[in-house]
Amino acid sequence: MEQKKGFKLGLNQKQGLIGWAFLSVAAALIIVMNFYPMFRGFLFSLQTGVGANMEYAGLFNYRRLLEDPQFRQTVSNTFFYLAVQVPVMIVLGLILASMLNSKNLKFKGFFRTTIFLPCTVGLVAYSLVFRQMFAVSGIVNTIAMNIGIMDTPFNWFGTAWSARLIIILGLLWRWTGFNMIFYLAGLQNIDQSIYEAARIDGANVLQQFRRITIPVLRPIILLTAIMSTNGTLQLFDESVNLTGGGPGITSRSMSHHIFNAAFQGIPQIGYASAMSFVILLFVGTLAFIQIKIGDKR
């Protein structure tokens, strides 16, 4: 009698099953740690009340945030940081990377390390240092008065424009080196003969930067722009630890406002969840726009 042949998997099928076996653990963790909390957060955004007394309220929280002047102020603050800080940081990172990629520059390792080091400093630590620097009796006012720029100390945290400026300076100091490393890695993959040919053809440094460096680094610039945009829209530590959101709420970020709504005073978990999903909408929309604008394939 003929024996029935057992079912055997091919090599590709075995490899596929092994791959799915490894991925299943990571996928389960992502679902449990990311997607489930997002789903629960969305359910909370449709509810009002506190603790066990929370009840379904439909889109009430979303209508409320559209009418909330404080939320509109924090949105305005955050987009101001985004419009000023992100372009400056990208351009400054490109310039620094181009300078540090020069083969004639000495001590390149020292300069690269020095510029990147702020990225390794804790967010709370550097915020407190900046707060001391810009205090009324801080080093910034002391230097400005010694060189004759000011006659009396200036309260940097007392006006909206100066408080926002301090946050922008803090962000530039900490994150410009992070973007610079990406650009520097991309520049080191460009054949130097391209720049030499451009110099022979009469291209100056600015023309080389515009015609060679930026086009080659376009994908990396797009990546850093998306990361910087996402980080700025979720800005929290600087608003909390550097300016406290003041004066008033004129420098408060959206994430800071969400934190206050959820954990300060009477908890408003439903309202805070609704604001969180608005940030998610902003992040997704801007990332999509940046990809469409930057993708030149």
Give the tens place of pLDDT for each residue, 160-216: 999 999 999 999 998 898 899 989 888 888 777 777 788 887 878 788 888 888 888
For the chain, how far is it from start to end, CA to CA, in angstroms? 63
Q: Is residue 60, in this structure, part of any structural domain at all?
A: no
HSE (CB half, 13 Å, CA atoms) of 289? Answer: 8
Domain span holding position 215: 69-256+272-296
Q: How many domains does the chain have?
A: 1
Residue 172 neighbours by CB distance under 10 Å: 18
Q: Is residue 1, in this structure, part of any structural domain at all?
A: no
Find the CATH number of the domain harbouring 182.
1.10.3720.10
The residues facing 48 across adjacent strands are 55
Query: Is residue 56 helix, strand or coil?
Result: strand
Joined tokens for residue 188: 């080191």
Q: Is residue 217, in this structure, part of any structural domain at all?
A: yes
pLDDT score for 5: 54
HSE (CB half, 13 Å, CA atoms) of 103? Answer: 7
Q: Do 247 and 163 meet the contact criterion of CB atoms below 8 Å apart?
A: yes
Write the DSSP string, 214-276: HHHTHHHHHHHHHHHHHHHHT--HIIIIIITT-STTTT--HHHHHHHHHHSSS--HHHHHHHH
Q: Is residue 7, in this structure, part of any structural domain at all?
A: no
Query: What's at 156, amino acid-wise?
Result: W
pLDDT score for 296: 60
Query: Is residue 3 helix, strand or coil?
Result: coil
Q: Is residue 49, in this structure, part of any structural domain at all?
A: no
Q: Is residue 230, in this structure, part of any structural domain at all?
A: yes
Residue 22 neighbours by CB distance under 10 Å: 9
Residues of the chain predicted below pLDDT 70:
1-7, 9, 52, 294-297
Residue 51 neighbours by CB distance under 10 Å: 7
pLDDT score for 165: 92
Q: Is residue 15, in this structure, part of any structural domain at all?
A: no
Q: Is residue 53, in this structure, part of any structural domain at all?
A: no
